[in-house]
Structure 1
Amino acid sequence: DDSGLIAYARLLPPGLSYPDVSVGRFAVEPSARHQGVGTLLMEKSLEEIDKIWPDTAIRISAQAHLGEFYEKFNFIKVSDSYLEDGIPHIEMLKQQ
């Protein structure tokens, strides 16, 4: 069925997960990966964040192996690796 959800991102206001804005539960269906879907979703997420919370830093908890993906959007690593749900993660920050 081609009508299913293939990607998802949750935009979180400042003060909910972090003092900064956050993108949580960023996910792309495995069959849709490596086709630019994640890039488009992140671009749209950043556009929406800029409209809703202009000039606000964005902080995320990223799976460690995806650090380079987020670096393409000017996120920088701001923590050592830590386990979240048994998966290595890193905290990353993007200044607006």
Structure 2
Amino acid sequence: MLKIEVKTFSELTTQELYNLLQLRSEVFVVEQDCVYQDIDGKDQKALHVLGFKNNKIIAYTRIFKPGDYFEYASIGRVVVAKNERQFKYGYDIMNASIEAIKTHYKVSKIKISAQCYLKQFYTNLSFKAIGEEYLEDDIPHIAMIKE
């Protein structure tokens, strides 16, 4: 079971910030072999949803209120450490992120830019694909909405 914490950028400890950036880099840059600017100036606006196991961040998302990233609230940088994925923590961190949007932003409509290979995962969380697939950092993505 994950211990979930939701924090603003300024509430993150230096160590938490380091750990979440390290996890994002491990997965999005190294594992997915994708050179892109992860540190994009948007973390300061986001709420950070941290999933801890044995006091270590092993799952993470960042969420945005409507208008900060998309027209609707959004969830991004969804990541689970590779050696923890078999435990389905992706669902735990996503469900916590959906709840955090309802709690903090008082809305339920959410838009995401999903990597296409994870479309079924997000469909299982009640997201519906909209529009055509597109490339983002040379990785196929699709926009998805949860009402």
CA distance in 1, matches of 2:107, 2:141: 26
Task: Show the counterpart of 2:119.
Answer: 67
Instruction: Quote the Cα distance in structure 2 between the aligned partners of 1:58 and 1:38.
Output: 17
Give the total of aligned pairs.
Answer: 94
1:73 and 1:56 map into 2 onto residues whose CA distance is 13
Give deviations 1:20-54, integer Å, cap 9, x for gaps: 00001011111111212111111111111111223
Aligned AA (1:29): A
CA RMSD of aligned residues (A): 1.3
Letter in 1 for 2:111: R
The runs of 5 or more residues in structure 1 that have no matched partner are: none
Given residue 88 of structure 2, which amino acid in structure 1 is its aligned partner?
G
SS at match of 2:57: coil
Deviations 1:34-75 (A, max 9, x none): 212111111111111111223441000000000100111110
CA distance in 2, matches of 1:79, 1:34: 30
TM-score (norm 2): 0.60
- Aligned match of 1:80: 132
**CA pair 56-43 structure 1, distance change in 2 beyond 3 A:** closer
Contact 2:73/2:107 (<8 A) preserved: no
Q: Secondary structure at the match of 1:47?
A: helix
Q: State the identity %.
A: 37
Larger Rg computed on CA atoms:
2
Misfit runs of 4+, over 2 Å? 53-56
- Equivalent position of 1:30 in the other structure: 82
Contact 1:8 1:28 in 2 (8 A): yes
Query: If each structure's helix is expressed as a fraction of its own residues, which one has the higher value?
Result: 2
TM-score normalised by L of structure 1: 0.90
Give the number of the structure with larger relative contact order, counting CA–CA contacts within 8 Å between residues 6 or more apart: 1
Give CA-to-partner distance per residue, 1:72-91, whole Å, 9 cap, x none: 11100002111001100000
Task: For structure 2, list consecutive stretches of 5 or more residues without a partner in the other structure.
Answer: 1-53
Work out whether residues 20 and 56 of structure 1, in 8 Å CA contact, stay in contact via their aligned partners in 2: no
Cα deviation for residue 3 of structure 1 reads: 4.5
